Amino acid sequence: MRGMAKPHKASSGSSGQGKGTARTHSNPQKKKNLPPPPPAQRGGVELVDPRVQAQLKLYDEALALFHQQKFAKAKQELEKVLEGPSQGLADRARMHLRIAEQRMKPSSEQNPRTADEHYQRGVAMMNIGRWDDARESLLKARKASPKSDYIHYALAALDCLTGEADSAMANLKVAIELRPENRYHARNDEDFAFLQEDPRFTELLYPEKDGTAG
């Protein structure tokens, strides 16, 4: 899908390292006992590590090229993302890399047959705003593999982008039932901004709040 949630500013836990390294006997033991700040995240990816920040920057640049349909250049950047430390970013890059490679093939080779191929084409159509083509491919993917959580998740995102709140909630609920981790992905996915004010969305993504309230 097109984008991820905007990054929170990373906590500068190491900002004090450059101050007065000579003859400043600040108690290092005391620093070690301080509770660490919660790691800044973007879409479930921790941003504290500067190598992850660099990997995320590459991923964003690659995604921009991907959206512009500059697949050859996007492919080069996505391959660099695979070398970074974050497995989550690498997995996302790998998905877009497969789609980019597919889009670079001659049109005669772009006839999807498997559920995964239909899914990849559906996501590619979403990224360039071809909603009807995206829905057609994703529905074929769901029919071929009804237990694949990521297909239901993609359909939910597409429903949000096209203003179909009820269908989005139904698809997202199935995606979470099949894979509970999707609940946390959806919290940080800007594709679901359409549902932010819907109380059903809050209840689905934050069941612990609903439990304490009732």
Which has the closest alpha carbon to 95: 68, 69, 123, 118?
123
Predicted model pTM:
0.50
The total number of residues written for the chain in this structure: 214
Residue 32 and residue 54 in contact, taking contact as beta carbons nearer than 8 Å: no
- Ordered domains of the chain (ranges, CATH): 41-111 (no CATH), 114-214 (1.25.40.10)
Q: Looking at residue 18, what is its pLDDT?
A: 44
Q: How many CB atoms lie within 10 A of CB 2?
A: 16
String of b and e for 159-190 (b: at least 16 CB within 10 Å)? Answer: bbbeebeebbbebbbbbbebeeebbebbebbb
Residue found under tokens 């772009």: 110
What's the CA gap between 108 and 81, in Å, rounded?
29
Q: Looking at residue 209, what is its pLDDT?
A: 65
Per-residue pLDDT 10s for the chain (214 aa) are: 544 444 444 444 444 444 444 444 445 454 455 555 555 555 545 556 888 889 899 999 998 888 887 888 888 999 999 998 988 888 889 988 888 887 776 543 467 789 988 998 898 888 888 899 999 999 999 999 999 999 999 999 999 999 999 999 999 999 999 999 999 888 888 888 888 889 999 899 888 765 544 3
Q: Looking at residue 196, what is its pLDDT?
A: 86
